[in-house]
């Protein structure tokens, strides 16, 4: 996902992340002049973000982001179907090619 913020005066901005709303403790995920940052691979759960000029108050209102993975039972079905389709497809090709080879050799 991409977080964007406005940075009209091109200041050095810090993007902070925390697991709770009170930001204790927090980590700085980005510090620089850009006005956006792509974050990925967050663990499942709720994460809080805020931005502000580096080393100064105030900070923006925290932004809560909930990371949820695809519903598991639906996924299990799709995975099962996917496995069957892929295996059958590859199997049909290998079987067809093997038969064809026999036919051309014989």
Partner 1 sequence: MTEDVFSISRSTGWIVVILLGVLWVALGIFWGKRAKNSEGFMLAGRNVGLSLGSATAMATWVTSNTTMLAPVFALTLGIWGMLAYSTASFGLLLFALFVGRIRTLLPAGVTAGDFFRLRYGRAGWSLFLIITMLYSLSWLVSMAIAGGDLLEALAGIPYLQGMSLILVVCILYTLFGGLYAVIGTDFIQSLIILVGIVFIGGLVVAKLDFSTAYEHISTYQPSLLKIAMPAALLAVFNNMLFGFGEVFHNNVWWSRAFAMRKDVAPKAFFLSGLLWFPIPIAAGFIALAAGPLGINIPDENQTGPVVASAVMNMSGLGAASGILILIVLFCSMASSIDSLLAATSDLLIEDVQKGLFKAKVNEEKFRRSAGIVIVGLGVLVWLLAAPHWPIINALFISGPLVGSLIWPVIAGLFWRKINRRIVLAGIIAGSALGVWAYFSLGWFTASLVGAGVSMVATILARFISPETFREADLPVQNH
Q: Which residues contact 97 (CB under 8 A, 6 or more apart)?
A: none
Q: Exposed (0-12), middle (13-18) or buried (19+): which is 15, by Cβ within 10 Å?
A: buried
Contact flag: residue 63 with partner 1 (CB under 8 A) = no
Exactly one of 58, 61, 72, 102 binds partner 1 (CB under 8 A); that residue is: 72
Exactly one of 24, 69, 102, 106 binds partner 1 (CB under 8 A); that residue is: 69
Contact flag: residue 35 with partner 1 (CB under 8 A) = yes
Positions touching partner 1 (CB under 8 A) are 2, 27, 29-30, 32-38, 40-44, 67, 69-70, 72, 75-76, 78-79, 81-83, 85-86, 88-90, 92-97, 99-101, 104
């Amino acid at each position: 996902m991409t977080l964007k913020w406005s940075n009209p005066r091109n200041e050095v901005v810090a993007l902070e992340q925390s697991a709770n709303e009170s930001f204790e403790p927090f980590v700085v995920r980005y510090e620089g002049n850009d006005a956006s940052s792509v974050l990925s691979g967050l663990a499942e759960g709720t994460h809080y973000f805020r931005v502000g000029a580096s080393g100064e108050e105030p900070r923006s209102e925290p932004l809560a982001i909930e990371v949820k993975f695809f519903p598991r039972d639906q996924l299990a079905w799709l995975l099962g179907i996917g496995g069957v389709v892929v295996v059958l497809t590859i199997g049909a090709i290998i079987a067809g090619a093997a038969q064809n080879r026999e036919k051309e050799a014989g």
